[in-house]
Amino acid sequence: MKKDIHPKDYRLVVFKDMSNGYSFLSHSTTKTKETIIWEDGKEYPLIKLEISHTSHPFFTGKMKLVDTAGRVDKFKSRYQKHLDLKNNKK
């Protein structure tokens, strides 16, 4: 195996699923400027996730639309004219 190819600066980091508020503490080398106070009262770096195992349809068995940036609304407003024209032709 090659030597010195893996990072050595692992530290405890809180990962937070922004779609449902679920958080977990794990080791990571990911850089971030945000921090959060964890359940043990200590401050840890915070990594915000859009989706995790608690909100992903594969793990939950439920189809749930996660719209974190208003993408669905933007899509609907952009193509509303096309939908209106199609519906009026019928």
pLDDT digits (tens, 9 = 90+) for 2-23: 888 888 889 999 999 888 888 9
Q: What is the pTM for the complete model shown?
A: 0.60
Q: What angle do CA 50, 7, 59 make, to 5 degrees?
A: 30
Does the pLDDT value for residue 85 go beyond 70?
no
3 DSSP 8-state letter: S
Nearest residue to 60 via CA among 26, 20, 25: 20
> Could you tell me which residues are beta bridge partners of residue 26?
13
Confidence of residue 38 (pLDDT cuts 50, 70, 90): very high
Q: Give percent of the chain with pLDDT exceeding 70.
A: 71
The token pair at 71 is: 């993408």
Cβ neighbors of 29 (< 8 A, separation 6 or more) are 7, 9, 10, 11
